[in-house]
């Protein structure tokens, strides 16, 4: 694929940047477009995966037929089969008439299945049949119908892990990933971050008839070294917020930092791998444990006050355990401000005659993980979000610490 062709694709679809990995992804999309091969687009949330099925459809021979995008994660499990494959009148309560599904509507065109990893297993069986034979059956019907649809799927989840846990069919995975395309996260496109920011700031300026904001050198460096969990979507939100709120049109690093969550700032977050380094995972887990402990103390204090009891005066006691001493030491500045744990209203307990032995780092990590799992009903994805770590890292920690929940 010639460089000019990639440039024209970017101009046509409004894709900004010169990152090599992004260019490679666009090159694969352009090469596979004239075929009918199934494509699986992977990447984190907010990286722009939705552009690739559009590129593939527009550059294919199906471009004059329908293009339908379906967010599989937004459709309830009880209606997903009806939405995708249609239903007959009387097939279920509320089915007052027959209805075509997306695969029937998109016959001859392209269907984009976003968040395909959220499909229930029963629907995965139906989808596999369509991919293998081009056949489907409406809900409530016994008639087999044919469709000629090109499928492009996308996911921000790890389908191999979903296969291991029995949530996704391996045969469907191989059917969908005939041609895999990986979209890089924003933190791996450092040379594109400022270009994207300027584009978003310019768009706001044009829309609301105001001068566009710009960044000084320190702010630009901070922007490029930020972790960007939300990727391009988060970057756009930040540019729009600053444009609307700040009066000065030249943004300093101090001003920019107000719009960036502090727990993800710092050069230590920008590693070559998308996973955070191990010592940062452990430190944040310990901070989470101590924050939960502080919240528990405040709840006990409120309970004592409601009972008419007074808490002990806030005085240091030589026998009190020092929780700060349990934190791992690092030469680099912490990504979480320590003062957030200081509170003059905190309950101070009288030290017991025989103070208990302080917990080890592993015990604190284990307790924090168990608490998060219980708070989220054992759902590891939600627990990982509560602990500010990736789901993959949580799986590793659970295995290391021998947690069975």
Strand, coil or helix: 153: strand
Report residue 93 CA to chain centroid gap.
Answer: 36
First-to-last alpha carbon distance for the chain, in angstroms, is: 50
What's the CATH number of domain 3-184, 3.40.50.1110, 3.40.50.300, 1.10.287.3610, 1.10.10.10?
A: 3.40.50.300
The helix (run of H) or strand (run of E) holding residue 119 is none
Per-block mean pLDDT, blocks of 10 residues, the chain (405 long): 72 93 96 96 96 96 96 91 92 86 96 96 96 94 94 96 96 96 96 96 94 96 95 96 94 95 50 42 57 64 62 45 40 39 40 52 80 82 77 80 79
Q: Which of 392, 313, 329, 402 is nearest to 365 (CA)?
A: 402
Listing DSSP states for 163-223 in one string gives: HHTTSS-HHHHHHHTTEEEEPPPGGG-HHHHHHHHHHHHHHHHHHHT-PPPEE-HHHHHHH
Say if CB 282 and CB 357 are below 8 A apart: no
Q: Max Cα separation, the chain?
A: 81
Report residue 99 CA to chain centroid gap.
Answer: 34
Domains 3-184 and 187-269 belong to one CATH topology: no
The helix (run of H) or strand (run of E) holding residue 41 is strand 39-42
Domain boundaries, the chain: 3-184, 187-269, 278-401
Q: How far apart are CA 402 and CA 405, in angstroms?
A: 9
Q: Which of 167, 248, 185 is nearest to 215 (CA)?
A: 248
Beta bridge pairs of residue 251: 215
Report residue 355 CA to chain centroid gap.
Answer: 43
Q: Residue 395 region, left (φ>0) first, then alpha (ψ -120 to 50), else beta?
A: alpha
Say if CB 367 and CB 359 are below 8 A apart: yes
Residues 6+ apart with CB under 8 A from 146: 134, 135
Beta bridge pairs of residue 41: 154, 181
Q: Which of 314, 298, 307, 288 is nearest to 385 (CA)?
A: 288
E-strand stretches of 55-185: 67-71, 110-114, 135-137, 144-146, 150-155, 179-182
Structure tokens, 99: 């209805």
Would you state the pLDDT for residue 354?
Answer: 47
Say if CB 238 and CB 198 are below 8 A apart: no
Say if CB 387 and CB 288 are below 8 A apart: yes
Structure tokens, 232: 């391009």
Structure tokens, 172: 């469907």
Would you state the pLDDT for residue 289?
Answer: 62
Would you state the pLDDT for residue 339?
Answer: 38
Question: Domain spanning 187-269 has what CATH number?
Answer: 1.10.8.60
Beta bridge pairs of residue 182: 42
Would you state the pLDDT for residue 384?
Answer: 79
Q: How far apart are CA 113 and CA 119, in angstroms?
A: 10
Strand, coil or helix: 223: helix
Strands 39-42 and 214-215: unpaired
| pTM of the model as a whole | 0.64
Would you state the pLDDT for residue 167?
Answer: 95
């Amino acid at each position: 694929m010639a460089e000019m062709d990639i440039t024209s694709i970017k101009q046509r679809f409004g894709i900004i940047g010169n990152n090599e990995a992004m260019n490679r992804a666009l090159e694969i999309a352009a090469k596979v477009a004239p075929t009918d091969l199934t494509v699986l687009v992977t990447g984190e949330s907010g990286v722009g995966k939705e552009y690739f099925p559009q590129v593939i459809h527009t550059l294919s021979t199906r471009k004059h037929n329908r293009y339908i995008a379906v967010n599989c994660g937004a459709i309830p499990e009880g209606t997903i089969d009806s939405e995708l494959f249609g239903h007959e009148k009387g097939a279920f309560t509320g089915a007052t008439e027959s209805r075509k599904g997306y695969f029937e509507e998109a016959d001859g065109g392209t269907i984009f299945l976003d968040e395909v990893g959220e499909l229930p297993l029963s629907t995965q069986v139906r989808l596999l049949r369509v991919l293998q034979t081009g056949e489907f059956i409406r809900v409530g019907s016994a008639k087999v119908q044919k469709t000629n649809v090109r499928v492009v799927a996308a996911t921000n989840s790890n389908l191999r892990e979903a296969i291991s846990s029995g949530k996704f069919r391996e045969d469907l995975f191989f059917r969908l990933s005939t041609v895999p395309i990986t979209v890089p996260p924003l933190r791996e496109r450092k040379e594109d971050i400022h270009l994207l920011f300027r584009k978003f700031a310019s768009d706001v300026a044009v829309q609301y008839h105001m001068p566009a904001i710009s960044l000084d050198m320190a702010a630009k460096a901070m922007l490029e070294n930020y972790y960007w969990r939300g990727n391009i979507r988060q970057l756009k939100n930040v540019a729009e917020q600053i444009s609307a709120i700040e009066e000065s049109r030249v943004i300093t690093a101090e001003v920019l930092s107000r719009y960036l969550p502090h727990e993800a700032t710092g050069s230590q977050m920008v590693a070559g791998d998308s996973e955070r380094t191990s010592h940062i995972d452990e430190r944040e887990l310990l901070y989470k444990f101590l924050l939960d402990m502080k919240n528990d103390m405040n709840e006990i204090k409120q309970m004592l006050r409601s009972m008419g009891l007074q808490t002990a005066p806030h005085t240091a006691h030589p026998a009190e355990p020092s929780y700060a001493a349990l934190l791992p030491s690092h030469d680099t500045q912490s990504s979480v401000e320590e003062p957030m744990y200081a509170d003059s209203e905190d309950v101070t307990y009288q030290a017991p005659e025989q103070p208990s032995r302080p917990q080890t780092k592993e015990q604190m990590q284990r307790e924090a993980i168990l608490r998060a799992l219980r708070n989220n009903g054992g759902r590891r994805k939600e627990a990982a979000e509560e602990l500010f770590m990736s789901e993959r890292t949580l799986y590793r920690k659970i295995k290391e610490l021998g947690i069975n929940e």
